[in-house]
């Protein structure tokens, strides 16, 4: 079996089989890897119980939502549409938290109220949101969660840091007194205090987040029975990166929550909201080499593939690196960035979009740097790893009118299942008048 890396349960030949059946570009998800991550998240060490909520923005495919919630994870939704999509996938409202910048109005407001009545937990993210939900929550004796902006954050890049002063997620600490005064006047209770400091940052800062949030709960929130530390557990997509150690972080949280209990007599349940951790490294983008070019002496070699920023825009958005695997038309793994073998072909993987930045090799500062791989032939596959999170759900997929790529889930028993069809060109224009 020629596996792409130590954590992939799909071998190179099976990727070729999937390509032959469904074409490229396509997203392929490793169901066994997702299952393993769901189990690990739910068994993260804790003091008085844990709920793990899957941050569905990472990947909202309904089959994945069903699989992940079947393991016992709850859902973190970032918009009313996401919450509705979870319900459409069969998730009950009482398994969903809504943490959103959006303030639903009109018909959407009625939908939101209906979902809250059926158990959705509303996470107040601003003073305005609190005032707008106040009457309804008081009339319906609805318990609320509050997202606190702690003033300190961490992320893979500045744009992924949601806790710093240039980011406006949650009720800032400087507004907490006003929020509490309003809530007290309305008889509202915050039974959960929540924060999310950002995605992909230094795990040490996630540890700091635990202390900070417990301090905030102790000072301001006497009714809280649960603390949510949010998502943001760092994943190692590339060799050499270090992932967050959730055993160690959980152990630390358990210790600190136990100390909090010893001090206050309050037993806090803990929540986490992993998106990346659950799906990122379980996703692979299958692309086919359609051209090879160079920019001459002193220039670069380019491998042009039929899926770039329209299937994975993380390089353009954050300068993120994703590993490349080259698989021949015979299904042989020619190179993997995880195998440590020396590779002689330094190339830039370019997409097919009419955009000079459409490359998977772009850094956060805009520099495009070649990476070593086996030299592929036209028709070979270049598989891009680490694309399970924030790729299918976040890429500008209809740019240049390229149809959205299909998604295939390789089940734990090894059986590949189409879980989203390739979009038809007609579907792109269907709403145009």
Ligand X SMILES: Cc1ncc(COP(=O)(O)O)c(C=O)c1O
- Where do contacts with ligand X occur on this chain (CB under 6 A)? 55, 58, 76, 99, 162, 196, 199-200, 230-233, 273-277, 389
CB of 377 to ligand X, least distance (A): 36
Q: Which is nearer to ligand X, 276 or 359 (CB)?
A: 276
CB of 60 to ligand X, least distance (A): 12
416 strand-pairing partners: 410
- Residue 304, phi then psi, degrees to nearest 5: -95, 125
- Residue 158, phi then psi, degrees to nearest 5: -55, -35
Q: Which is nearer to ligand X, 76 or 407 (CB)?
A: 76
Q: Which is nearer to ligand X, 51 or 358 (CB)?
A: 51
Q: Whole-angstrom Cα distance, residue 314 to residue 285?
A: 13
CB of 248 to ligand X, least distance (A): 17
Question: Rounded to whole angstroms, what are the CA distances from 417 to 53, 284, 383?
Answer: 25, 15, 18
Question: Rounded to whole angstroms, what are the CA distances from 147 to 224, 269, 371?
Answer: 12, 16, 41
CB of 425 to ligand X, least distance (A): 32
CB of 433 to ligand X, least distance (A): 35
Residue pair 284/24 in contact by the 8 Å Cβ criterion: no
Q: Which is nearer to ligand X, 162 or 336 (CB)?
A: 162
Question: Rounded to whole angstroms, what are the CA distances from 425 to 19, 165, 401?
Answer: 20, 43, 8
CB of 272 to ligand X, least distance (A): 8
Q: Which residue is nearest to ligand X (CB)?
A: 231
Q: Whole-angstrom Cα distance, residue 32 to residue 38?
A: 10
Residue pair 15/284 in contact by the 8 Å Cβ criterion: yes
Q: Which is nearer to ligand X, 76 or 82 (CB)?
A: 76
Q: Which is nearer to ligand X, 277 or 324 (CB)?
A: 277
CB of 270 to ligand X, least distance (A): 14
Q: Which is nearer to ligand X, 281 or 359 (CB)?
A: 281
Q: Which is nearer to ligand X, 278 or 373 (CB)?
A: 278
Question: Rounded to whole angstroms, what are the CA distances from 356 to 117, 204, 366?
Answer: 49, 37, 11
Q: Which is nearer to ligand X, 162 or 360 (CB)?
A: 162
Q: Whole-angstrom Cα distance, residue 334 to residue 398?
A: 31
Q: Which is nearer to ligand X, 161 or 360 (CB)?
A: 161
CB of 365 to ligand X, least distance (A): 22
CB of 282 to ligand X, least distance (A): 13
CB of 217 to ligand X, least distance (A): 17
């Amino acid at each position: 079996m020629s596996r792409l890396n130590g954590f992939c349960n799909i071998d190179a030949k099976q990727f070729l089989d999937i390509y032959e059946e469904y074409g490229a570009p396509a997203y392929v998800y490793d169901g066994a890897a997702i299952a393993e991550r769901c189990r690990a998240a739910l068994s993260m060490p804790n003091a008085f119980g844990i709920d793990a909520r899957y941050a569905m923005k990472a990947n909202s495919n309904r089959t994945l939502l069903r699989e992940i919630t079947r393991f016992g994870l709850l859902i973190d939704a970032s918009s009313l549409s996401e919450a509705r999509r979870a319900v459409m996938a069969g998730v009950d409202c009482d398994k969903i938290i809504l943490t959103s910048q959006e303030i639903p109005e009109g018909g959407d407001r009625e939908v939101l109220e209906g979902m809250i009545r059926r158990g959705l937990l509303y996470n107040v993210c601003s003073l305005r949101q609190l005032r707008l939900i106040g009457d309804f929550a008081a009339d319906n004796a609805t318990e609320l969660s509050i997202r606190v902006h702690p003033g300190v954050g961490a992320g893979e890049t500045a744009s992924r840091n949601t806790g710093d002063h240039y980011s406006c997620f949650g009720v800032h600490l400087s507004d907490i007194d006003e929020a509490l005064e309003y809530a007290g006047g309305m008889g509202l209770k915050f039974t959960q205090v929540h924060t999310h400091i950002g995605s992909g940052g230094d795990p040490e800062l996630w540890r700091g987040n635990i202390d900070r949030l417990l301090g905030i709960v102790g000072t301001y929130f006497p009714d809280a029975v649960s603390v949510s530390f949010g998502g943001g557990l760092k994943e190692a997509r590339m060799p050499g990166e270090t992932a967050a150690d959730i055993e160690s972080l959980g152990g630390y949280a358990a210790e600190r929550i136990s100390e909090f209990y010893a001090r206050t007599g309050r037993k806090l349940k803990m929540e986490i909201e992993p998106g990346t951790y659950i799906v990122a490294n379980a996703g692979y983008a299958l692309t086919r080499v359609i051209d090879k070019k160079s920019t001459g002496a002193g220039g670069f070699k380019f491998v042009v593939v039929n899926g770039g920023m329209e299937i994975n825009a993380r390089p353009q958005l954050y300068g993120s690196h994703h590993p490349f695997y080259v698989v021949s038309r015979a299904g042989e793994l020619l190179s993997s960035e995880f195998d440590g073998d020396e590779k002689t072909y330094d190339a830039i993987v370019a997409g097919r979009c009419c955009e000079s930045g459409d490359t998977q090799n772009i850094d956060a500062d805009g520099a495009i740097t070649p990476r070593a791989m086996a030299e592929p032939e036209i028709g070979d596959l270049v598989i891009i790893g680490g694309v399970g999170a924030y790729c299918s759900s976040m890429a500008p997929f209809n740019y240049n009118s390229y149809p959205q790529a299909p998604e295939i889930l390789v089940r734990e028993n090894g059986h590949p299942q189409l879980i989203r069809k390739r979009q038809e060109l007609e579907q792109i224009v269907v709403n145009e008048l």
